[in-house]
Structure 1
Amino acid sequence: MTVAASTEDARVPSGRTLRRLGVELLLGAIVAAVVSLGLQWLVGRFWTPYPSNVPIAWMTLGCAALLAVGLWLAAARRWPGWATPLSWAGLSALATLPIALLLKGTRYYLGGVEIDQSFRAPYLTRLTESAALADMNYTDVPPYYPAGWFWLGGRFANALGLEGWQAFKPWSMVTLAVSGVLCFALWSVLVRRQVAVVLAMLTTIVGVLHGAGEPYSWVIVATIPPLAVLAWRMLCSLRTGERPIGAAVVLGLALGAFGATYTLLAGFFALLLVLLAVANVVVTQGERILVARRTLVPAAVVAALGIAVALLVWAPYLVAVISGRPTHNAAARFLPEASIYLPTPMLEFSVTGALCLAGVVWIVVAARRSVIAVGLGAVAATCYLWYALSTLALVADTTLLAFRTQVLLIVVLACAGVLGIAKLARFGVRRLPALPVRTLGLLLAFGVLLSLVQQAPSLHEDGVKAAFTDAYPTGGNGANASSKDDPDQYVSQVDSEIRRLTGKRPDELVLLSNSSVLLTAFPYWTYLSGISQYGNPMADFNAREAAVNRWATATTPDRLAAEMDRSPGTRPTVLVLLRDPGGETAFISLIRDAFPADPNGRMYPVTFPMSAFAGPPFTRSDVGPFTVVVRR
């Protein structure tokens, strides 16, 4: 891969360029969504058994063709106008095809309804049922988890006439497709289009491999590297007296969108911007105070826009905080192995490791003369700083979930590696005219990108298995190997029985249940979230957990009703419990916070005697292995 001219322009993008960026972001997102949905429909047209290697064979061929077209565009000496929409379509297909083929035959997305998907899918169901902001679990607290991606997903589901759980898979793949196009558009205002398309292809593939499990965070990760470069250019322009308000507007809108979508990465991006601003003042020779003053205006624009956009989803919660409502945030009380060791992807013996190593070398060598190298290097450095701060946060009995920045480190170093190799190839064309450096570079790029994308089946093996084997709310599963021993096969009947006994819709009822399939399929409110880390800080998980344990000590209906009436929060109308084999008791499994242990939660059963439901004010009905208890 070669570049005919310099791969970067150190000037801050003009207002006209940024207006063009806005148009491309909008049009590109529309094209990406249409192409992704069309490709998903096409993939679903033919049947293959599960498991089968046929979808992987099609994935390999399709991705190879897409990469060949993308590199052909990258090799062009002149970028034609039609190449831009073609790139949008190609990047969308590259993001969609591997996941769509791996999940061909199942209606669930990667991970099914297990672990983190057990709260993501219900949140999408909640916001599909109504466009009003609401908590994913609790009816009596303001929403806490950022609703941006889920709210848009709800409108997506409404537009296509899908239930929330049915929309989660296509909406996730559309998000991956749009992320690649947004990345391409942002890089295109910083480097030549030929280089931008290669960076976008690489970023898209990393997203397929490492970001697909959490698509709403990936759209942020994919855009942080070019935004960091834009921020550094904006700050550098302040030394010459420019007023880069347009760039500040872009960064402010991005910060606000991050805050409305993923709090942790919004905090990371805000820290990155602050560090870049401080570094710009420090490296300025002789006029530091003047540059610091000039920084105030764009900084105010970024902060004002960021806060204004984030408040679209955060306002109800912040109002409750200001009013003095108590909180106890357990969301970050998680310390897996990936958070305790500093990541060193550049030392791995792999294609990714080689790219990251090339990126480290290029950042160090080019930092003195390249604003791109500084911007990317700042992102990498902030990742390591985030790890250090996360460890220090253990003093406060929490973390910063440092492992969430690992994929960002890989992306930024891999992109730096591409830029370094492009520089080296350009040098080779000039100095070694007798060698086919251009052809060799293209072949190497094709092999590297294809090798990466072919890792998708092995990396997603567990997530694909869960998507095929988890029970559907309607019964059965994607593998067509459902078992009557699986309690979730009865979820549809449980829902019907609840409606019959109560005469109410799911969104009018509060349940005590830990059936992730039931809560994914229907917008019931819950009395207690699966674990405290998934819950709202204002819901007082510990107090509710203690209340449920007290309920289980009741042996008569009157005693149980009295205990429930004394409990915090909106008491449940319905209990959905599992019966023991003898039929004398019923139980629910709860997960107690065990942080800093790993795993950070310990599951234990809470057992109720059937005598507690034997008469007014309760009505009991058995459905399969479940006992449904309704408070009259």
Structure 2
Amino acid sequence: MTTNDDVRVGRKIATGVAEGLAAALVALVVAAVGLFVFSAVQWPAFNSSNVTRALTTVGQVCSIALLAVSVLLIRLHKWPVVAKLASWVGISSFVTVTLGMPLAATKLYLFGVSVDQEFRTQYLTRLTDSAALRDMNYVDLPPFYPAGWFWVGGRVGDVLGLDGWEVFKPYSIGMLAVAAAVALVLWTQLVRADMAVGAAAAVTAMTVAYASPEAYGAVLVVFIPPVLVLAWGALYRRSGGWGAAVGTGLFLGVAACFYTLYLAIAAFTVVLMAVIAAGSAVYTRRAVARRRTIGARKVGQGSTGDGSTVAARPAWRAAIAPLTRLAVIGTIAVVVALVVWTPYLLELLAGAKMPSGNAFHYLPQSGAQLAFPMLEFSLRGGLCLLGVLWLVVRAGSSRRAQALGIGVVAIYLWTLLSMAATAAGTTLLSFRLEPVLLAVLAAAGVFGFVEGAKAVYLALNEPARLRTAAATIAVLGALAFAQTIPTVLTHEIDTAYTDTVPTETVDEYGTHGERGDKRPPSAVAYYHAVDEALLAQTGRPRDESVVLTADTSFLSFYPYFGFQALTSHYANPLAQFKARADTIAAWSELDSSAALLDAMSRAPWRAPDAFLFRSDGDNYTLRLAEDVYPNDPNVKRYTVAFPKSLFTDPAFTTTEIGPFTLVTVRR
């Protein structure tokens, strides 16, 4: 039987979904228009001029002004539709201008195609070339790293007719703008509308500043604080809460499809919430039963007054409700996760052996100590400190404070577990959770600021003046922090301008390459010629050839498969990275072309169709990597030298292209 409460909850969910879709559409239009306008002008490079920095500040001021107008209209209870549109446009334009304007004169996203961004670009290139769920590097293997964000980006690139590396920047910025706007809608379903705008804006600013280089993780970070509030609402209440449980399960499922580590910390927090909720329910049930028993004894009765004995109601049954909702959340998450993980799981069930991977073998200094941003003397530190104070003061009376507080505790527990795991020869990559911690504390800081300001002006009995003063401080703080974001991301932005991309046209230096800062390109400028030679000599499409090369950024621009990945940390565990490295070394020690061809034919994996070497005297060289954890850095580079005499057989075709030597294999 449907109750009025069920109808009300159903309408609220339907309204939230509709507003979420509308906000996503608005954010998509804002991002698309903004990025198009930015690209239509020939801007100077960010690392050689302050023009784009100045224009970024102007755009941020306009965006924050829209958010302030939205809050004002909400507080005045005027023009609710305009207020919503202003908040959606404001938060999405903030993301677009803060990331898009500094990168306006380059085709690359933060970090260019360097370090970790190299394999991410390779993944997007792979899934732009084909919608099939395939490993980013290895042929005939399902993906191990979650493909969700990259698959969607690949479809965007395919629709727009862009290569994977070209769509990376606009897709990353647009997706984060959409995520920020939808997260704002979620906040409005959980807290008062004006506070929702403030919380969403603070979380978004922290995310852009500290999580945006990992674009596929940033879209989850903006959701984690409101999802924690949603999850606690589902688990703590004694009845109902099924809509919140479904929403939490959907988020965890999407997280499993996007970023495994953020899934892990979110799931860990939700389980911790369920344990606390179950324990609290049992404790409360026992306390109530104890009081009723004492009351019954006083009046000489053996019942609770409602016809049932106290003994007939075991306290442990109170834990059933939160644990049942936890089971529902987990079931939904698993079903959604299988959309991406099914091919890999089927490969394992088919008998594939998974050696111990090295993905967790990284321990920088930041992962060996606890982060306390709330103790920094900075705007960031001040907001986080306000958040901590609010979490402590309101822990017993606010569900929001409880939810966010459990989230903070979970992050610190995960960090300690990661440190303890080093004794077992691994880590839990806790250093990557600092953006999540900052986002949660930022949301708490906004609530602390609002409630603290209210307490002050009520105590002083001057609400009008102090409200204006508090609002002024909030806006000034937001502007001051916002304009520091490009400074925080200086290295990432500079790399986007100094990295080279291949081009089909010849540039002013006579090469097929281009840097955002218009300086002479690197060896990447010869990739276009390498690609043309490969296509001509193999006679096959790119995704039907396997290339062995140490210049793995080549695979980020062109969807060839690689015989070996950049490092073992990003290699598919099913690919047997160490065994492949040993095989490459063994090939280099053979004494003839015939022996090499024979060894390649007997390899347990598909042998290379081409080698892309560097030349060094009488040898062709590959500079490869091996895991040396627990050392920091955790990667050691070493050189494998192939005598040129190994490639004298007619089966090999050798072509010199700039600093490269391309050797194709005729089969």
- Verify same fold: TM over 0.5: yes
204-213 vs 392-401, which moves further:
392-401
Q: Please, which of 474, 482, 502 is the counterpart of residue 520 of structure 2?
A: 482
How far is the alpha carbon of 1:31 from its aligned partner?
A: 1.6
1:525 aligns with 2:561: yes
Question: d(CA) in 1 for partners of 2:534 and 2:66?
Answer: 54
Q: Which runs of 5+ in 1 are unaligned?
A: 1-10
1:301 is displaced (CA, Å) by 1.9
| 1:191-230 equivalence runs, <5 A | 191-230=191-230
In 1: Cα distance, 2:559 partner to 2:338 partner: 25
String of CA shifts for 1:223-282, please: whole Å, max 9, x gaps. Answer: 1111111111222222xxx22211111111111000011111111111111110111122
**Does structure 1 residue 346 correspond to structure 2 residue 374?**
yes
1:568 alignment counterpart: 604
- Kept in 1: contact 2:113–2:499 (CA 8 A): yes
Letter of the 1:482 partner, please give it.
P
Shift of 1:85: 2.3
Whether 1:49 and 2:44 are equivalent positions in the alignment is yes
How many pairs are equivalent?
Answer: 615
Deviation at 1:601, TM superposition (A): 0.4
Match of 1:588 in 2: 622
Give how far 1:408 is off.
0.8
Aligned partner letter, 2:240: R
Q: Is the 8 A contact 1:140 1:569 kept in 2?
A: no
Q: How does 1:133-282 map to 2 (within 5 A)?
A: 133-238=133-238, 242-282=239-279
Larger radius of gyration: 2
> 2:295 maps to which residue?
none
- Matched with 2:97 is 97
Q: Say if 1:276 and 1:253 are closer, same or farther in 2 by CA, change over 3 A.
A: same
Counterpart in the other structure of 2:583: 547
Amino acid at match of 1:521: F
Query: What are the Cα deviations for residues 465-505 of structure 1, in whole angstroms up to 9, with x where unaligned?
Result: 2111111121121111124xx32110000000111111111
For 2:390, the equivalent position in structure 1 comes to: 362
Native 8 Å contact 1:228 1:376 kept in 2: yes
Give how far 1:12 is off: 14
Shift of 1:142: 1.7
**389-398 or 567-576: bigger deviation:** 389-398
Q: Is the 8 A contact 1:235 1:277 kept in 2?
A: yes
Structure 1 vs Structure 2 CA RMSD: 1.6
Residues 1:466 and 2:465 are matched in the alignment: no
Q: 2 CA distance for matches of 1:355 and 1:369?
A: 21
1:300: how far off?
2.5
Q: Deviations over 1:180-234 (max 9, x none)?
A: 1122111111111111111111111112210110111111111111111111122
**Other-structure match for 1:423:** 451
Code of the aligned partner of 1:567: A
Amino acid at match of 1:451: A
Match of 2:403 among 349, 360, 375: 375
SS in 1 for 2:550: coil
**Could you tell me which of 288, 311, 317 is aligned with 2:344?**
317
SS of residue matched to 1:604: strand
Kept after mapping to 2: 8 A contact 1:557/1:615:
yes
Contact 2:546 2:607 in 1 (8 A): yes
Provide, for residues 490-537 of structure 1, a one-character-per-residue CA deviation record: whole Å limited to 9, x for no partner.
Answer: 000000011111111110100101324311111100110000001000
Tell me the SS of whatever aligns to 1:607.
strand
Q: Which residue of 2 aligns with 1:35?
A: 30
Relative distance call for 1:134 and 1:492 in structure 2 (3 A) is same
2:330 maps to 303
Q: Distance in 1 between matches of 2:630 and 2:16?
A: 45
Q: Which moved more, 1:615-624 or 1:539-548?
A: 615-624
Tell whether the 8 Å contact from 1:12 to 1:244 is kept in structure 2 after alignment: no
- 2:263, 2:426 → 1: CA distance? 18
Higher relative contact order (CA 8 A, sep 6+): 1
Q: In structure 1, the residue corresponding to 2:285 is in which secondary structure? A: coil
Q: Distance in 2 between matches of 1:270 and 1:92?
A: 28
The share of aligned pairs that are identical, in percent, is: 38
2: CA distance, partners of 1:478 / 1:337: 32
Match of 2:478 among 431, 449, 464: 449
**SS of the residue 2:144 aligns to:** coil
1:77 is matched with which residue?
76
1:305: Cα distance to partner?
Answer: 1.0
1:442-484 Cα shifts (integer Å, max 9, x gaps): 111111111111112221111112111111121121111124x
Q: What secondary structure is seen at the aligned counterpart in 2 of 1:596?
A: coil
Matched, 1:401 2:437: no
Q: Tell me the distance in 2 between the aligned counterparts of 1:565 and 1:597.
A: 36
- The residue number in structure 1 matching 2:130 is 130
| Cα shift at 1:554 | 2.3
Distance in 2 separating the partners of 1:103 and 1:12: 47
Instruction: Report how far residue 555 of structure 1 moved.
Output: 3.5
Distance in 1 separating the partners of 2:389 and 2:266: 24
Cα deviation, residue 47, structure 1: 2.0
Partners of 1:360 and 1:207 in 2: CA distance: 18
* Alpha-carbon separation, structure 1, partners of 2:349 and 2:422: 26
Matched, 1:603 2:637: yes
Aligned partners of 1:492, 1:517: CA distance in 2, in Å? Answer: 12
Deviation (angstroms), 1:13: 8.8
- CA–CA distance in 2 between the matches of 1:539 and 1:268? 27
CA contact (8 A) 2:235 2:326 kept: no
TM-score normalized by structure 1?
A: 0.95
Q: Match for residue 310 of structure 2?
A: none
Other-structure match for 1:3: none
CA distance in 1, matches of 2:226, 2:129: 36
Query: What is residue 20 of structure 2 aligned with on the other side?
Result: 25
Secondary structure at 1:260 match in 2: helix
The aligned amino acid for 1:346 is M
Q: 1:5 — aligned with what?
A: none
Determine the C-alpha separation between the residues in 2 that align with 1:65 and 1:113.
31
Which residue does 1:438 correspond to in 2? 467
Identify which of 376, 387, 396 aligns with 2:415: 387
In structure 2, the residue matched to 1:60 is: 57
- 1:102-113 aligned at under 5 Å gives the runs 102-113=102-113
Q: Is the 8 A contact 2:614 2:660 kept in 1?
A: yes
Task: Give the conservation status (yes or no) of the 8 Å contact 2:257–2:341.
Answer: yes
Q: Secondary structure at the match of 2:636?
A: strand
TM-score, normalization by structure 2? 0.90
Q: What amino acid is the match of 1:245?
A: W
CA shift for structure 1 position 14: 2.3
Retained in 1: the 8 A contact 2:652–2:665?
yes
Cα contact 2:206–2:442 (8 A) shared by 1 = no
Instruction: Determine the C-alpha separation between the residues in 2 that align with 1:492 and 1:551.
Output: 28
Q: 1:555 to 1:624 in 2, by over 3 A?
A: farther
| 1:512 equivalent in structure 2 | 548
Please tell me whether the aligned partners of residues 366 and 431 of structure 2 are also in contact (alpha carbons under 8 angstroms): yes
Are the counterparts in 2 of residues 13 and 247 from structure 1 also a CA contact under 8 Å? no
Q: SS state of the match for residue 472, structure 1? A: strand
Over 3 Å counting, the alpha-carbon distance change for 1:16 and 1:114 in structure 2 is: same
Distance in structure 1 (CA, Å) of the matches to 2:26 and 2:606 = 45
Segments of 5+ residues of structure 2 without an aligned counterpart are 1-5, 287-314, 504-512
